[in-house]
Structure 1
Amino acid sequence: MRARRLTRTLTCIAALSLAAAGCGLSGGSGGGDATAGGCEVDQGNVGSGKLSGDVKGTITFQTTNLKKDFGDYFNGVISAFEKAHPGAKVKWIDDPGDATFTQRLVADAQGCTLPDVVNINVNTAVALTKNGYLLDLDKKAPDAGEPFVPALWKSSLYADAKGTKVHSVLPWYSGGIVQTFNDDLLRKAGLDPAKPPTTVLGLFEDAEKVAKASDGKYYAFLANPQLRIPADWQQMGIRILSADGKTFTFADDPKTAQWVEAMTRLYKNGGMPRDSLSSTQDPANVYGQGKLVYGPTNPNFLRFIQQNNPTVYKKTGVARFMLDDLGHTVGAPQYIGVASTSKNAATALAFAQFLTDAKNQLEWAKDPNVVIFPSTTASLDDPFFQSVEGDDPFARARKIVASDRKTATADEIALTPGELNAISAQIQLAMQGKKSAEDALKEAQSKANELIEQGS
C-alpha cells in the first residue's frame, strides 16, 4: 500500500519543473562543497554520517495557516527553544495555505531558499524528497524516529531520487477517525448503538435495516460515492493501486464489486436521499438536521454539531472505526521537514525535533480550540487522552482516537480530482441500475488508468 498519490498540480510541477534538466540545477547560494536538489550545501547535510554542528544561527520556520489561531502557542515554543539555545534564532513565517501553496514551496526549493524547517503535507513531502530538498533522517538523525508511534513512523517513508524509501520528515499532528451515529434513529431502526459494525459491509447491512424502518423520514447516509471512496475500499483490504503506484487495480478484487452492489441496494431501497447521488451537500449539515443516522467520521465534526445542533449532539453515539480486513486505520498526518539546503542544518534539525517532541505536541493537543492528535507515544499515553473525564460524545471520541493512533499508519491513498470523478461517475451509473457493478468498475479502472498515463 503506497502513500497518498500526487495531485494533478503537483504531478505537473514535479514532472515539468523539478525533474527538468537545468531547473534549479545550476547551483545555489553559499559556498558549499556538495549539492542537494541542485543547490550548493555543506557536505555535512548530505551523504553518510550523522549531522553535526552547533545549535546556533538564524533559521526560518514555516507553518501553514496557523498563526492567526495559535500564535501564542508557537511563540511560546520558539521562545523556549531560543532560551535553551542562546545562540539560535527562529524566524517564524506562516503561509496562508491557499491553492498555490505547493507551487510557491517548490519555487522556493528550486531557488535554494526553502525554509529551514517547514510544515508540509504528504504530497509536498513526496516531491521534495524525490528531488533531494529534505534531509535524509535515516542518515543524518538515525534516532529521530524513537519518540513516534512505531506504525506511523514506519509508514512515513518516501522515495528519494534513486527510488529508495527514506525517512525525510517527522510526523506531526493528525485528525482521527471514528464512527458517529444518532442513537435515537438507530434504535428506531431496531439497531443497538452498543453494537456498532466492525466491517464496511457490516455497516451496509445495518444501513439496509435503516432503509426498511425509516420510510423515507430519515436515511443511513448520503449516496455520493465520492464521500466513501477510496477510504471504504482501503479498510476492506482492497488493493487500489499496483505496488509501484502506476496502475489502478481495484476492479480486480471481487470485494470492490460487493461494495458497489451494497451501495446499489441501499440506494434502490431508500437508504440514501435520491437527490444526493451526485450532490456536494455537506453530510454534517444533513446529520445536524436529524435526517441521517450516520455522521461524518472526523472527530472535529462533533465540535461542529455540539455548537450548532446541541440537541442532536446529545443523541450522538461514538464508536471505534471499522478496522475490517486492513486491521488498522490510515490517515496521513501533517509533517515537519528539514531542508537539506539549510545553512544552519543542525539548528533546524534541533528545532524540528523540539517542536515535535512529546511535551510540545501534548501541549498543543490540549488547546480547546483545536481537535488534533499527536504522533508521539508518550503524548498519547498521557492522562489527557487515557483518563478522559466525562461521557459526552467528544470525550469518548478523544479516548477512542488516542488508542487508534497507536496502530494507525500514514499509508492513506488519495485520488486526484480527475480520478475521483471518473471512478464515481461509473459507480453512480451502477447505483442507478444502468450498469452492472463489474462493468462499471472495469470502465472506471480503465478511465482512471488513462488519467495516470496522462499525468492527471
Structure 2
Amino acid sequence: MRARRLTGSLTCLVVLTLTAAGCGLSGGGSDGGDATAGGCKVDKGNVGSGKLSGDVKGKITFQTTNLKKDFGKYFNGVIDAFEQAHPGTKVNWIDDPGDATFTQRLVADAQGCTLPDVVNINVNTAVALTKNGYLLNLDDKAPDAGKPFAPALWKSSMYADGDGKKVHSVLPWYSGGIVQTFNTDLMEKAGLDPAKPPTTVLGLFDDAEKIAKASDGKYYAFLANPQLRIPADWQQMDIKILSPDGKKFTFADDPKTAQWVEAMTKLYKAGGMPRDSLSSTQDPANVYGQGKLVYGPTNPNFLRFIQQNNPSVYKKTGVAPFMLDALGHTVGAPQYIGVASTSKNASTALAFAQFLTNAENQLAWAKDPNVVIFPSTTASLNDPFFQSVKGDDPFAEARKIVASDRKTATADEIALTPGELNAISAQIQLAMQGKKSAEDALKEAQSKANQLIEQGS
C-alpha cells in the first residue's frame, strides 16, 4: 500500500535499506530467554501473542516531524497532562525537521535499536517499519486500540508484517481532507451551475470541455500536467493501479485508464488547459488565485491560502464534496503514531500514544486556528466544532464536508515514487500532444514503471 497526497514516497528506499541491513523480524526468544524485534533484543512481552502488560511508568521518547515550532504549547500541554495522570512517567519530546533525509535517519535509528518509543510517521515509513518488525502489533498487544477511530479508516490502516500478514501497527492521527473547490463566477460564465458540481472524474472533463469552449483562452479548467491528477483520478475511478501484492503495475490493463488519457488529450487540444502547463511545475493555487482557473486544489488548507492572499477570489470560491465516482468513498493517507517494539517501556509508550490520539486531544488540536487538520476519531468528528459550523464561507463549508467525509474515507491511498510518476507522466504527455495513442502510451508507461519496481527505484 502506498500513499501520496500528503506525503512523499520513499517506501522502496526504506524497505531496501532495512532489508540490506539483514534485520530480522518480530519473533521468538533467544537462548537467553530474550525476544527479538527487527534484530533487536526486546522484552518478550513486546512481541508474539498476548496483550501488552506492565506498569505505566518510566521514561519514553516521543518524536514528531516539524511540529515543535508552531505547536509547542499544544504538545507540551498534552505531555504535562499525561505525566500528571501517570506519576512516575517522563516524556522526552524531540522534533525531527522532516527534511529530505528524515526517513534515512529513522531507518538508522531502527537498525541501531534506538527507534523513538512513540513516533509520528507517514504511511510509507509505517509500511517499512511494520514489515521489518519495528512496531508493536496492536492486534496482539492492544486488541481494543481501534475502538475510538472511524471504522473505515481503522480497517484500512493495516500493513504487512514480515510474513505478509496485514496487521494494525499504527494509530491513525490527523489528515488534511479533500474537497472540490471552484470559482463560481467562472463556472457561470461557462454555462455551468455551481450548485451542481461534477460527481465523477469523467464528468469533470465533460464540464471542462464546456469551459474550454466558453473561455476563449481567458481562463481554463485546470492545469495540464498529469502529475497533478495521477494516480488520484485513477483511484477514484476504481482503476486497479497495482496488483494486490503491490509488486506490479496493472493500470494499462483497465480500459477506463485509456478513457481518462483520451479525455485529458481532448481537453488539452480544445484549450481547456494552459498550453504551457503540460510539463510545468507551477503551483495551481497561485494560478487559481489569479482568477485563471475554474477548479482549485482539493486540500482545504488551500482555502486559507486564498483567503489570505486573494480575498476577492476567495469570495467567489465554491466548495463541494469530492467526487466519489466508482470507488464510492474518498481516500487519504493520515499521519500515524507508531509504538516501537524495541521500547524498553512499551506499556508507557502505548499509553501515551493512545492518550495523544484520543478524541479529546485530537479535537483540541483541530481547533487550533493555525492549523487545518481533521481528526481520526469518531467522537472528534461528531463534535459541534465540525457538525454545527457557523458561517457559510468556503472554509466553513469545507470543514463540514470533510468532517462527514472522514467517516467513510479509507487510508488506501496509492503513491508513486518520483521515478514512477515521471515515467508514467512522460508517456501521458506524449499522448496529450498527439504523438502516441492512449493505449500505446499506457502500455509503455506501465512497462517502464514495472522496470522501476524491479529495480527498487
- Tell me the TM-score normalised to structure 2 length: 0.96
Structure 2 CA distance for aligned equivalents of residues 23 and 381 of structure 1:
42
Residues 350 and 117 of structure 1, relative CA distance in 2, 3 Å threshold? same
Residues 62 and 32 of structure 1, relative CA distance in 2, 3 Å threshold? farther
Is 1:116 aligned to 2:85, yes or no?
no
Q: In 1, are the aligned partners of 2:14 and 2:125 still within 8 Å (CA)?
A: no
Letter in 2 for 1:356: T
For residue 48 of structure 1, what is the aligned residue in structure 2?
A: 49
Q: In 1, are the aligned partners of 2:10 and 2:124 still within 8 Å (CA)?
A: no
Structure 2 CA distance for aligned equivalents of residues 313 and 14 of structure 1:
43
Is 1:201 aligned to 2:229, yes or no?
no
Provide the secondary structure at the position in 2 that maps to 1:152: helix
**Identity level (%):** 87
Q: In 1, are the aligned partners of 2:181 and 2:318 still within 8 Å (CA)?
A: yes
Provide the secondary structure at the position in 2 that maps to 1:40: strand
For residue 388 of structure 2, what is the aligned residue in structure 1?
A: 387
Provide the secondary structure at the position in 2 that maps to 1:317: strand
Pairwise CA distance, 1:238: 0.3
Residues 12 and 252 of structure 1, relative CA distance in 2, 3 Å threshold? same
For residue 214 of structure 1, what is the aligned residue in structure 2?
A: 215
Structure 2 CA distance for aligned equivalents of residues 351 and 341 of structure 1:
16
Pairwise CA distance, 1:427: 0.5
For residue 4 of structure 1, what is the aligned residue in structure 2?
A: 3
* Mapping for residues 247-258 of structure 1, pairs under 5 Å: 247-258=248-259
Pairwise CA distance, 1:10: 4.2
Q: In 1, are the aligned partners of 2:24 and 2:38 still within 8 Å (CA)?
A: no
Pairwise CA distance, 1:34: 1.0
Provide the secondary structure at the position in 1 that maps to 2:320: strand
Pairwise CA distance, 1:11: 1.9
Is 1:226 aligned to 2:227, yes or no?
yes
Is 1:315 aligned to 2:305, yes or no?
no
Structure 1 CA distance for aligned equivalents of residues 279 and 33 of structure 2:
55
Structure 1 CA distance for aligned equivalents of residues 49 and 135 of structure 2:
14
Letter in 2 for 1:188: K
For residue 28 of structure 1, what is the aligned residue in structure 2?
A: none
Pairwise CA distance, 1:3: 3.9
Pairwise CA distance, 1:33: 1.7
Residues 32 and 77 of structure 1, relative CA distance in 2, 3 Å threshold? farther
Is 1:171 aligned to 2:172, yes or no?
yes
After the TM superposition, list the runs of 4 or more consecutive aligned residues in structure 1 that deviate by more than 4 angstroms.
5-10, 22-25
Structure 2 CA distance for aligned equivalents of residues 334 and 4 of structure 1:
11
Pairwise CA distance, 1:23: 8.4
For residue 277 of structure 1, what is the aligned residue in structure 2?
A: 278
Letter in 2 for 1:214: S
Structure 2 CA distance for aligned equivalents of residues 386 and 68 of structure 1:
30
Q: Please give the root-mean-square deviation of Cα atoms over the aligned residues, in Å.
A: 1.7
Higher mean C-alpha deviation, range 384-393 or range 446-455:
446-455
Q: In 2, are the aligned partners of 1:129 and 1:160 still within 8 Å (CA)?
A: yes
Letter in 1 for 2:139: D
For residue 34 of structure 1, what is the aligned residue in structure 2?
A: 35
Pairwise CA distance, 1:16: 4.1
For residue 413 of structure 1, what is the aligned residue in structure 2?
A: 414
Pairwise CA distance, 1:32: 7.4
Pairwise CA distance, 1:350: 0.2
Letter in 1 for 2:138: L
Provide the secondary structure at the position in 1 that maps to 2:249: coil
Pairwise CA distance, 1:7: 7.2
* Mapping for residues 46-445 of structure 1, pairs under 5 Å: 46-445=47-446
Q: In 2, are the aligned partners of 1:3 and 1:410 still within 8 Å (CA)?
A: no
Residues 23 and 163 of structure 1, relative CA distance in 2, 3 Å threshold? closer
Structure 2 CA distance for aligned equivalents of residues 405 and 86 of structure 1:
35
Q: In 2, are the aligned partners of 1:32 and 1:42 still within 8 Å (CA)?
A: no
Provide the secondary structure at the position in 1 that maps to 2:60: strand
Residues 116 and 16 of structure 1, relative CA distance in 2, 3 Å threshold? closer
Letter in 2 for 1:100: T
Q: In 1, are the aligned partners of 2:17 and 2:107 still within 8 Å (CA)?
A: no
Provide the secondary structure at the position in 2 that maps to 1:148: coil
Structure 1 CA distance for aligned equivalents of residues 276 and 2 of structure 2:
34
